Structure 1
Amino acid sequence: MTIGIRKAAVSDAAAISQLITTLTEKYVCPTCEDSAGDILRSSMSVQRVTSYLSSNYLYMVATTENNEIVGVAGIKDNCHLYHLFVSDDYQGLGLSRRLWECVKQQALNNGNTGRFTVNSAINAEDVYLRFGFKRLEGVRNRQGVLDIPMVLENL
């Protein structure tokens, strides 16, 4: 099975939205207050993803040989990892790391000096720790969305 990684296009917005919404419902929403679901879902709508792809975000997608999107990484302003999701069927293959390394390298090529941030979901912290991120503070609650602010510095 060959998984390719490419820059996302606006035409990928619906597939990206579907993937990240499904995985957020399964993995992120249960770690947040009930009120957070609508906030999270609206931030991942096709319209919002389209606007991200048309502005200061860079998205990379992992695709199968049939061009099915099975993973996505999005970075905002070349410094804030905004989305990183891999379909359940493709987890454990190193795709999260490959996607992260791709968006990180693009950000560095675009002028990032070696500092990245992420607001980790509660159950994703271990992934980011393996990538070298460190906690900035404990668990935050913003409008019912629970996360852990993290930073990666001095690559």
Structure 2
Amino acid sequence: MKIKEASINDNEILTEITKKSKSYWGYSEKQILKWNDNLTISAAYIENNCVFELINNNEIIGYYSYLVKEEKNVILDNLFILPEYIGKGFGKYLMTDFLNRMKNGKFEKITLNSDPNAENFYLKIGFKKIGEFKTSIKNRFMPIMEMSL
């Protein structure tokens, strides 16, 4: 198992992982189609942002990406794993790699908008919920989370 920087040629695989992972939480195919633009990882996105993929047995099974918001603040933009690997420690493995990169850099704070289904995952890692915002789905709110380094 290894983590490496994503190649712009991996954009379709990363988009597939994103959509499959999101679907795992029970969102309908119709809803996934509504979110298509937000769930698509373009070659330009990979080229312009920090994207790292998790490879297991020569297969990309997950990834994370982050954006540098300000000099000392980072946004964890994506963290997705193929459904068959969810709940088996691979997400934690990705998060550990991400946090190590952040702690070894000049960053002081990480923020993210969590899917409601992933909120507990981030809480266990050490993030704190600092707010939430209403989504396009009735009675669904996205937690806004933060961690100081």
TM-score w.r.t. length of structure 1: 0.79
The residue matched to 1:13 in structure 2 has which SS?
Answer: helix
Three-state SS of the structure 2 residue aligned to 1:85 is: strand
Moved >3 Å (runs of 4+): 36-39, 107-110, 142-146
Q: For residues 74-85 of structure 1, what are the structure 2 equivalents within 5 Å?
A: 74-77=65-68, 79-85=74-80
Q: Tell me if 1:86 matches 2:86.
A: no
Contact 1:117 1:149 (C-alpha < 8 Å) held by counterparts? yes
Unpaired stretches in structure 1, ≥5 consecutive residues: none
Query: What is aligned with 1:21?
Result: 19
Q: Percent identity?
A: 21
Aligned to 2:134: 141
Relative to structure 1, the CA distance from residue 39 to residue 50 in structure 2 (aligned partners, 3 Å threshold; closer, same or farther) is: farther
- RCO (CA 8 Å, sep 6+): is it higher in 1 or 2? 1
Q: C-alpha distance in 2, partners of 1:21/1:11? A: 17
* CA RMSD of superposed structures (Å): 2.2
Opposite residue 25 of structure 2, the aligned amino acid is: Y
| 1:20 CA displacement | 0.5
Query: Secondary structure, in 3 states, of the residue corresponding to 2:131?
Result: coil
What per-residue deviation string (whole Å, max 9, x for no partner) do you get for residues 1-56 of structure 1?
xx2221111111111011111111332736xxx7x6445221222xx43222111x
CA apart distance, 1:97: 1.5
* Worse-superposed segment, 126-135 or 91-100: 91-100
Question: How many residues in Structure 1 have an aligned counterpart in Structure 2?
Answer: 142
Deviation at 1:130, TM superposition (A): 0.8
1:88-143 per-residue CA deviation (whole Å, 9 max, x = no partner) reads 22223321122112223333444212x101111111111000110011124x2144
Contact 1:6/1:60 (CA < 8 Å) preserved in 2?
yes
SS, match of residue 107 in structure 2: coil
| Whole-angstrom distance in 2 between the partners of 1:150 and 1:61 | 23
**1:102 equivalent in structure 2:** 97
Structure 2 unaligned residues grouped into runs of 5+: none
Amino acid at match of 1:82: D
Q: TM-score of the superposition, structure 2-length normalised?
A: 0.82
Q: Quote the residue 1:12 is aligned against.
A: 10
SS at match of 2:16: helix
Aligned with residue 128 of structure 1, among 119, 122, 131 = 122
The aligned residue for residue 71 of structure 1 is: 62
Match of 2:147? 152
Task: Identify, as 1 or 2, the structure richer in strand.
Answer: 2
